[in-house]
Each structure stands twice: as C-alpha cells, then as structure tokens.
Chains A and B, each alone.
Chain A
C-alpha cells in the first residue's frame, strides 16, 4: 500500500509545475504507468483525492494511461509485447530479454489554468 506515498510524491511535482507556471489551478494530470512499476493505477486513483486535498490540484482530473510490457530479445533481436509475469521473447522463447517498456511510473503532462500570461512566465515555459 505504498500508493499514497507515491501519490504524495506526485503532488509535490505537480505543485512545483503549477508554481513555475503561476497557475491558478490544475485541470488535469496525465500519468503513464507500466504494470511492472509496482504501482497499481486503481489504488493511485483512490489515493489521489486524499493527497490532493487543499492543493491547487484538488479538483484536477487524474488520467492514467497503462503502458504495455515490451521486451527486446538479445537472442533473436525481435521486440514483442508480453505479459508482466512472463518476460520471454514471443518469437523464440528465450529469457535473455531486456525490458523496453512496462516499468514506468511517469508524470507525463500537467494541464494548468493561468489567470494571466506575462512575458516572464512565457520565458519560464519555453526554457523549462
């Protein structure tokens, strides 16, 4: 049950982004989660209202995209989508594979509402 801890870490990052953009509030938060990240999207969604209460993101929508588990085979050089409990190459069956995707817990994008745009903010955005 470490999803609350993960969610609190997420909130720290979201609040930083909101501050950098001088945002009035956060509209949506987009995450990419792989099944091998150890984070359960359902539990993360449940923890979100608790972690975000009273913050700029209290009313934000949490959008979680589940990422596929993809391995690259070092034996036959093929790439295949596999089950999280069986990371064998789908083509030749070898276990000598490298995970290409599936262990991510990524904050991809934050959508914020800015009351007013200023040149200083625009600079911050483009250089960040």
Chain B
C-alpha cells in the first residue's frame, strides 16, 4: 500500500480521515490528532519503572500521605523501633525544606534519603526514582516514602508504591475524607493517628470518619492508633508484615511461573 492515493484507508480507520474525524486534514492545513493519553503519562511511566525496581528486589513500597503534622515521622520512628530488627527498612523523606525528618529517622539506624522539593507541593515518580538510586534495594525489605504533608497534590502522582497509607490525626476533624475526596479515595489503609488525644476531643467520631470514607466508595480498613503511647500499633505492624509477606508470595509465584515457562518452552 502506498501513502499517497488513499489506498491505506481501511474500513477500520476510514472514520478518522473523514471530515470531522480525528486525523482529518482540512484545506487550510488544520489537522486534528487524537491522543487520548493521561496528562501525567510521563510520571506514570516512571512510576511503573520504580515499581519494577521494587518488585525485582522484593521490596515493599508504602507511600505515606497526610496533612503536615499528622504524625508521619513519629509513626515511622515507632514502626522502626518495633520492626527494625526483623525487617530491613529505608525511608525516603519528602519536604519542601530541611533534612530534619531524615535526621530523625537516621538516629534509629535506618537509611533515609531526604528529597527537598523547594516549592513543589508533592513528590513525583522522577524524584523517587532519583532517590532509589541512592538506596541499596537488594539489602532492603521495605521502603517507606513519606510524602510532602499535603492532602491535595500528592494524590495525583503515582510514585510506584504498592500501597497508599493515609494518616488522619484526630485533631484535624472527622470530616477530612469528605473534604479531600481525591486523597482519601486513593487510600489502601487509613490510620487515625494521635488517638491518645481522643478523650480531649468531643467532636471527633471515629465512626463518622469511617462513614465519610465509605461515602467515597473506599473499602479500606481504618485503624486507630497512637505512635506516642503505642496503643493500636500492633494492628498496623501486623498489616505491614502481612503486606510484606503477600508481596514476597506474589513475587515467588511469579518467579515459579516464569521458571516453569522457561523449562516447558520448546
């Protein structure tokens, strides 16, 4: 088929070159090109690449998101104290400025890479990719990515994580899921943090917080905990261990399948 006489127009693509079609070219040289691609295609591509990195090394990647000050770093410190001996953990920290959070994490003997975003309000897949190259993934079981404290922007950027965990600290109010639907719709797990303050707050209902989450059609579990007192931490740690085991299992099966394919191939 040539490209000049129109013989490459088939019944399958004819609608595209008809007047008004996506590839129609008018006399004035105007041409409409159909793209139908996600605006963040480039980010999603890098995120998939990051996920591949994590999978190759059997590393569970958890993206922690919340408002500023909801207790992400405190949760990580408490988690490292409890799981640090059994599992090899690293943390990628996202903040607009300072190394403060990374230094807090390093004091627990865990590698931490600080990404300072300048004025950017979120981490993207490229920033995480750069940080991954500073970590020895082969020596790790879990990477926690502590996103920039913000309930709006980080929700739009896939980083290559296996799970999104969102903290909602009880002083923030139980209607946060209703106010930030994009963020809370993305949650695989919601942690109600600083629950040791609940007796002081007469306006936070854990049931209401759960109901707001269900109204976003999100079936994610909701755990109540306090990193400070340790209450409720066991449920969270069990969840992390379970996710880690499930990832190992999934990757193990994948490896067996590939191996089986390779041995049965002619």
Residue positions of A touching B, CB distance < 8 A? 1-2, 5-6, 9-10, 12-13, 17, 20-21, 23-24, 27, 31, 36-39, 71, 84-88, 95-99, 103-117, 119-120, 122-123, 125-126, 128
Contact = CB atoms under 8 A, between A and B. Distances in A.
Name, among B36, B122, B217, the residue most crowded by chain A CB atoms within 10 Å (CB to CB): B217
B39 A84 contact: no
A114 B31 contact: yes
A115 B124 CA distance: 37
A107 B182 CA distance: 20
A36 B181 CA distance: 7
A113 B29 contact: yes
> What is the size category of the interface that chain B forms with chain A?
35 or more
Contacts, number: 135
Given A108-B35, A114-B31, A117-B25, A9 B43 contact: yes
User: Main secondary structure on chain A at its contact with chain B?
Assistant: mixed
A38 B155 contact: yes
A110 B35 contact: yes
B33 A21 contact: yes
Contact of B181 (A21, A84, A108, A111): A84
25 contacts: A2-B153, A6-B156, A13-B37, A24-B29, A27-B30, A38-B153, A85-B181, A85-B215, A86-B215, A88-B217, A95-B215, A99-B217, A104-B38, A107-B36, A112-B31, A113-B31, A114-B25, A114-B31, A119-B3, A122-B3, A122-B4, A125-B33, A126-B3, A126-B9, A126-B17
Given A10-B39, A31-B39, A117-B25, A110 B32 contact: yes
B34 interface: yes
Contacts of B34: 108-109
A117 B32 contact: no
B4 A109 contact: no
